[in-house]
Each structure stands twice: as C-alpha cells, then as structure tokens.
Structure 1
Amino acid sequence: MDSSQWDARYAAAPDLVWTADPNRFVVEVLTDLPPGRALDLAAGEGRNAVWLAQQGWQVTAVEFSTVAVERGRRLADQRGVTVEWIVADLRAYAPPTDSFDAVIVAYLHLPAADLSPVLTAAGAALAPGGTLLIVGHDVANLTAGVGGPQDAALLHTPEAIVAPLDGLDVTRAATVRRPVRVGDETRHALDTVVVAVRP
C-alpha cells in the first residue's frame, strides 16, 4: 500500500486504527535501557514513539502517512510529551548515521528488495552500544497464526531480517507467538522478532 492508501485507511477509522498502547516487544526490549535518543521508523499513529517519550527518550518518529502523523501528534499532546515527527517514505529516507541509542522498525512490510536497504540504514543509524528492534508478521503466520498481510513476499523470517544487519551483534532472532483477541477468544499471531546491538 502507498501513502495515499494508508491515509485513506487511517482517515476512515473514527479512532486509532491500532491502539495507544506500545507494542509488547518494544516494552520488553527497551524498558530497562537508559533513555537516550530513539528513532521510530514506520511509526504509524505513534504509539511506540509516544510511549518512549513518556519514558524520557528523545524521540524522532518517521511515517509516510500524514493522517497517521497527525494522529500521533494528537496522542503526544494528550500524553504531554514531545516527539519530532518526520513525514517521509522510508524507501527514500536516510536517517543520520551513528546517532541513536535505540531504533525501532515495527510491522514494516515491504518486498525484500525495498526492506533490506531500510534495515541496513536502521542499523547504521545506531550509535555505538545502541539497540535495534525489528518486529513484524512472520511468514509462518499465514498457516499457523492470525492477522497480518496475506502475501508471503511481504512477511518476515528471522533469517531474512538478520541478513542485512552487517556489523551488528544479533542477540535475538526468533519467531514468537503473540496473543491476539479475536471476537470472544484468544488466538495467536506469529511474529519475527530481531534484536541487535551495535558494538
């Protein structure tokens, strides 16, 4: 989907499309890190960026949907925090290198040829000692999970996500079950979760 399609999807929803709560893996990985500079790539409506700002991080959030960015700004205002918002397509955006103590890429689903350079740039944006978290729907989700894109070419595997992360120490690369409420029952989505640290 391009930015205009995401704009339409966000605009059609009377409230946040996802939730104001941060992603569970963002909380798990970043809670115990000392606050510094954080970069949230494909920030959507800003739930992770705003949460990080609430924890004392100086946050830059990049998203190509202007509607999502406006919702993120409102959420930040409601929570009384400041986030730097950048409207940009990650396929053309070059984050500053050696600059961030944490970089998040959550649920960015692009063809491999587009995703790989984004992930390489995300790793290069880390300052020494910085942590990169990448999370997205795993290809196994098609047959064993629920939700997410239904095109295998857009889904992740731990191996494919790790491949463009040259020079980083990968501390976690796994397919993880995530509980999801569907109607009156709890089911599970399968996510790829990769955590890497720049030496």
Structure 2
Amino acid sequence: MSKEMWDKNFDQYEYLYGSEPNAFIKEKAFLLKKRSVTACFAEGEGRNAVYLAGKGHTVTAYDQSLVGLEKAEKLAREAGVTIETVTADLTKEAPPEEMYDSAIMVFGHVPRDSQRFLFENMMHSLKPGGLLLVEVYSESQLFYNTGGPPSVDLLYDPVEVLQWIRPHFCPHFYCGEVDRVEGTKHTGTGHVIQAVVKKKAAGK
C-alpha cells in the first residue's frame, strides 16, 4: 500500500480509525515501564502515540504518510501532549538500533516480502529487555469483511510471526477473534494476531 494511497485515505477531517487507542494497546500498556522511550511504528493518525504520551511516555510516531502524521500532531495538541513524528517507509528504511525501551505496531500491514524486515527492524530498535506490542490482522481476516487489507499478501501468517520472534521471550501470543470498533475501517468481529515480545539480552 503506497504512500500516495495512505495520504489520500488520511486526507479527510475524520480520523480513519478513530481517535481512541487500540484496545489491545490500552489493555497491555501497563507492561511498559514508567516514562519509557517508545516508538509507534506504522502509526498513521496517531491515536496510540497520543494515548501513550498521555501516560507519560516519550513517544516517536513513524509512518510513511506525512498527511497521517500531521493529523497525529494535531491530535496530540488537542490532547495537550507532545509527540515526535518521523516520516519513513518501514518496508525500506530501518529505525535507529537499540533506541527504545518499548515499541508498538498496530495494523501495520505491508507486503508479504517486507513483513520479516519490518519485524526484525522493530526488534533491532529496542534496547535489550525492551518490549514490543503488536496487533495485526491474520490471513483469516479475509473471511470476516470487517476491515483490513483485501489481499492475503498484506495480511500475516501466525506461524511466520512466531518464527520471526522466536529468538526472544514471548509472554503473550494470541491468534483468533476479537471485536474492534475503530473508526469507519475496523468495525465488528475480526481475526487478529497479538504478541507481546521481550527482546533478549545480548549473549542470552
């Protein structure tokens, strides 16, 4: 899904996926250490970044869409918090290594041949012991018609996700149904993959 397509999708007054945080991030945010330095990857219009900034974290939001990130900055101002934004195509560019205490990625759907690159670079961005929280649609989402990409190439295989995170500690992994009401694009029961991953320390 191209930058131009996302710019067009986000170029409207309403927030495409709403302004409230993703339910999984809200549920698991207590796992992040206090005042952590946090990256929000494929963050779009900033709903999760703003939520985490409101919890006292120092947040950087990454997305390929400048239009989306401008809306994220607007949402942050309205909430009375500050976030940093970085325009980057995470299928081609890597974030700084060992920069963050924690990272999240919610519905960052990229082509199949770029998915491992994205996951590995998110893990590389974390300090040893850092935490990654992820929720994405699985390939089974195609049967639900409640949001997400219409192509299996842009959805995730849970077996592959497990392979990518295998070197690290995974205290939570779930593949199955959830109910989501997020703006106009995610509404109803869907089929997701969730993971909480703790980056292993060097030499362990």
| TM-score of the aligned structures, taking structure 2 as reference length | 0.89
Aligned residue in 1 for 2:189:
188
SS at match of 1:119: helix
SS at match of 1:161: helix
State how far apart, in whole Å, the 2-side matches of 1:32 and 1:66 are: 30
User: Where do 5+ consecutive residues of structure 2 fail to align?
Assistant: none
State how far apart, in whole Å, the 1-side matches of 2:48 and 2:22 are: 7
The structure-2 alpha-carbon separation of the partners of 1:181 and 1:114, relative to structure 1 and needing over 3 Å to count, comes to: closer
Aligned residue in 1 for 2:40:
40
Asked if 2 retains the 8 angstrom alpha-carbon contact of 1:46 and 1:61, the reply is yes
State how far apart, in whole Å, the 2-side matches of 1:109 and 1:33 are: 24
Aligned residue in 2 for 1:114:
114
Q: Deviations over 1:129-187 (max 9, x none)?
A: 2111121111112225622112112111322222223531122222132214599xx84
State how far apart, in whole Å, the 1-side matches of 2:118 and 2:9 are: 23
Write the mapping of 1:50-89 to structure 2, written as runs, cut at 5 A.
Answer: 50-89=50-89
State the percentage of identical aligned residues.
Answer: 29
Asked if 1 retains the 8 angstrom alpha-carbon contact of 2:139 and 2:157, the reply is yes
Amino acid at match of 1:34: K
Write the mapping of 1:159-198 to structure 2, written as runs, cut at 5 A.
Answer: 159-180=159-180, 187-198=188-199
Aligned residue in 1 for 2:4:
4
Amino acid at match of 2:73: R
Aligned residue in 2 for 1:23:
22
1:126 Cα deviation from its structure 2 partner = 1.2
1:10 Cα deviation from its structure 2 partner = 1.1
- RMSD after superposition: 1.9
State how far apart, in whole Å, the 1-side matches of 2:54 and 2:22 are: 14
Aligned residue in 2 for 1:124:
124
State how far apart, in whole Å, the 2-side matches of 1:181 and 1:117 are: 29
1:2 Cα deviation from its structure 2 partner = 0.6
1:66 Cα deviation from its structure 2 partner = 0.9
State how far apart, in whole Å, the 1-side matches of 2:128 and 2:180 are: 35
State how far apart, in whole Å, the 2-side matches of 1:3 and 1:100 are: 25
Aligned residue in 1 for 2:135:
135
Asked if 1 retains the 8 angstrom alpha-carbon contact of 2:107 and 2:136, the reply is yes
How many aligned residue pairs are there?
Answer: 196
Asked if 1 retains the 8 angstrom alpha-carbon contact of 2:32 and 2:131, the reply is no
State how far apart, in whole Å, the 2-side matches of 1:34 and 1:124 are: 19
Asked if 2 retains the 8 angstrom alpha-carbon contact of 1:117 and 1:164, the reply is no
SS at match of 1:9: helix
Asked if 1 retains the 8 angstrom alpha-carbon contact of 2:37 and 2:102, the reply is yes
More moved, 51-60 vs 173-182:
173-182
Asked if 2 retains the 8 angstrom alpha-carbon contact of 1:145 and 1:190, the reply is no
Aligned residue in 2 for 1:146:
146
**Structure with larger RCO (C-alpha < 8 A, sep 6+):** 2
- Which contiguous aligned blocks of 4+ residues in structure 1 show a shift greater than 6 angstroms? none
State how far apart, in whole Å, the 2-side matches of 1:192 and 1:32 are: 18
Asked if 2 retains the 8 angstrom alpha-carbon contact of 1:144 and 1:190, the reply is yes
